[in-house]
């Protein structure tokens, strides 16, 4: 699934001394004497262990501390900027000028991306490495399942918008779907995302070791049933959406290219038709850019899913050796960062490819920020000029009296 909100499969193995193997932070493995604790950030589609430290007997195998530092600062920075961009998305997209059905999908997409980035930011900055009961509870029952729900929802919303735009272009539909129907569709796919991610609530249990608490893989997490569910997640949340949006996007790109050639040869009947064509083209190009970013960022996470990664790249390693290998940790690390970017960069795409979005944002900016500043400056200038004029009048009066 997604490296960041698809299936974040997490290790539930037992060390030879029967100590629990735990997973909390996707970026580091915390060591307690001869016990292995994997602190892996269970992102929604963030595959399990991004970085870890392994210590057993007299041997130590640990990832570079630079990876943990990069993960902390790079991950938190991307999440923070992404949260800001999605707030701007919601402010602009909620304006009456953008009250069309495609923009309802974009609002829903911004909400799910915002939820994923917010949970990830909290996990990276506050929860990671803090082995208290509260934060372990947060990782297991809030961060892990909800981040997967948010990411799955964003995937399904993107697919839904792509399919709708495909049929509008393919069948030359001029009327847009009602806002009520769009909201019902969005609500339905979110409910489906919640339903298929229910098993994630049963993947971990809280394990106490001395005064610290760790997520411990549950018996369900290590069962054959969950292995089958992991493959189901990989197919439903990764591969099928990628195939659908890839094929539909190819057709949309061809259609936009063909329409540009024809526009030079055809005379549009009236200005209204021209504006309608422009609006359709803007939305289609915006969707194409979203899908291209989506495909680039999601493909690595599809292959970072534990069952798939082990089948393709495991080689002669055991399951445990593969999961703690530097190659797997680095691959998961990169796939997770790409998922953060996928949830963060839509604002940039809207600004670059959608002129109507830029226009509304500019109007909003001038109306609420620049205009008040300009009014205050004008008022101050007016007061200063009035004061100068008043001073001149008084000076003239004094001069006349002296004469």
- Tokens 């530092």 -> residue: 69
| Same-domain check for residues 347 and 377 | no
Token pair in block for residue 180 = 């009520």
In 10 A of CB 67, how many CB atoms? 19
385 in the same domain as 276: no
Q: Is position 140 within any domain?
A: yes
Asked if the structure places residue 108 within a domain, the reply is yes
Among candidates 283, 280, 248, which has minimal Cα distance to 263? 280
Task: Quote the DSSP letter at residue 30.
Answer: E
The answer to whether residue 23 sits within a structural domain is no
Whether 221 and 183 share a structural domain = yes
36 pairs with which residues across the strands? 31
Residues 347 and 359 in one domain: no
CB-CB contact of 87 with 121 (8 Å): no
236 plus 339 within the same structural domain? yes
In a domain, 7, yes or no: no
Question: Is 277 within a domain?
Answer: yes
Q: What is the CATH number of the domain that holds 235?
A: 1.20.1070.10
Residue 335 contacts by C-beta under 8 Å, 6 or more apart in sequence? 3, 4, 46, 47, 300, 301, 304
Answer yes or no: is 15 within a domain.
no
Q: Do 105 and 135 belong to one domain?
A: yes
Is the pTM higher than 0.95? The answer reads no
169 shares its domain with 198: yes
Name 17's Cβ contacts closer than 8 Å, sequence gap at least 6. 34, 35
Could you tell me if 288 and 364 lie in one domain?
Answer: no
Residues 273 and 361 in one domain: no
**3-state class (DSSP) for residue 213:** strand
Tens digit of each residue's pLDDT, the chain (403 residues): 444 333 333 333 333 333 333 333 333 222 222 222 333 333 334 433 333 333 333 333 344 566 667 778 888 999 999 999 999 999 999 988 888 888 999 999 999 999 999 999 999 888 887 889 999 999 999 999 999 999 999 999 999 999 988 888 887 776 777 888 899 999 999 999 999 999 999 989 998 888 888 888 888 988 889 888 888 888 898 889 989 998 988 888 888 777 777 666 665 544 444 556 666 777 788 888 888 888 888 888 878 777 778 888 887 887 777 777 877 877 888 888 888 999 999 999 998 888 888 888 888 887 766 556 666 656 666 566 666 565 655 565 555 555 5
Q: How many domains does the structure of the chain reveal?
A: 2
- Within-domain flag for 152: yes
User: Which candidate, 191, 221, 233, 189, places its Cα nearest to that of 45?
Assistant: 233
In this structure, the answer to whether residues 244 and 382 fall within a common structural domain is no
Which residue shows structure tokens 């990169």?
Answer: 334
Same domain, 306 and 360: no
Residues 216 and 239 in one domain: yes
Containing structural domain, residue 70? 28-353
User: Exposure string (b/e) for 342-373, b if CB count within 10 Å is 16 or more?
Assistant: bbbbbbebbeebbebbeebbeeeeeeeeeeee
Cα–Cα distance measured from residue 110 to residue 92, given in angstroms and rounded to the nearest whole number: 11
């Amino acid at each position: 699934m997604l490296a960041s909100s698809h299936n974040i499969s997490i290790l539930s193995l037992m060390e030879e001394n029967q100590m629990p193997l735990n997973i909390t932070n996707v970026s580091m493995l915390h060591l307690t004497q001869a016990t292995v604790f994997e602190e892996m950030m269970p992102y929604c589609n963030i595959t399990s262990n991004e970085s870890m430290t392994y210590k057993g007997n007299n041997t130590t195998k640990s990832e570079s501390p630079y990876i943990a530092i990069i993960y902390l600062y790079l991950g938190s920075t991307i999440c923070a900027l992404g949260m800001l961009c999605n707030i701007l998305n919601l402010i602009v997209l909620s304006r009456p000028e953008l009250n069309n059905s495609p923009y309802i999908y974009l609002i829903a997409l911004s909400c799910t991306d915002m939820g994923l980035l917010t949970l990830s930011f909290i996990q990276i900055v506050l929860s990671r490495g803090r082995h208290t009961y509260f934060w372990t509870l947060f990782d297991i029952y809030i961060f892990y399942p909800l981040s997967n729900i948010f990411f799955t929802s964003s995937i399904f919303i993107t697919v839904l918008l792509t399919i709708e735009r495909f049929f509008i272009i393919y069948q030359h539909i001029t009327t847009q779907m009602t806002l009520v129907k769009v909201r019902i569709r969005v609500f339905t796919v979110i409910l489906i995302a919640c339903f298929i991610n229910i098993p994630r609530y049963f993947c971990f249990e809280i394990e106490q070791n001395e005064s610290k608490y760790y997520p411990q893989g549950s018996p369900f997490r290590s069962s054959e049933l969950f292995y089958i569910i992991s493959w189901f997640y990989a197919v439903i949340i990764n591969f099928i959406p990628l195939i659908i949006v890839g094929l539909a996007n190819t057709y949309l790109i061809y259609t936009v290219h063909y329409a540009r050639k024809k526009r030079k040869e055809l005379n549009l009947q009236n200005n209204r038709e021209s504006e309608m064509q422009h609006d359709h083209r803007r939305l289609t190009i915006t969707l194409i850019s979203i899908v291209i970013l989506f495909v680039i960022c999601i493909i690595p996470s599809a292959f970072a899913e534990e069952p798939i990664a082990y089948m393709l790249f495991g080689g002669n390693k055991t399951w445990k050796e593969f999961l703690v290998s530097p190659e797997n940790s680095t691959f998961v690390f990169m796939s997770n960062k790409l998922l953060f970017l996928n949830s963060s960069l839509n604002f940039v795409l809207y600004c670059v490819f959608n002129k109507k979005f830029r226009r509304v944002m500019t109007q909003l900016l001038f109306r609420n920020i620049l205009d008040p500043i300009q009014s205050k400056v004008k008022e101050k200038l007016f007061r200063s000029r009035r004061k100068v004029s008043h001073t001149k009048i008084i000076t003239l009066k004094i001069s006349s009296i002296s004469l």
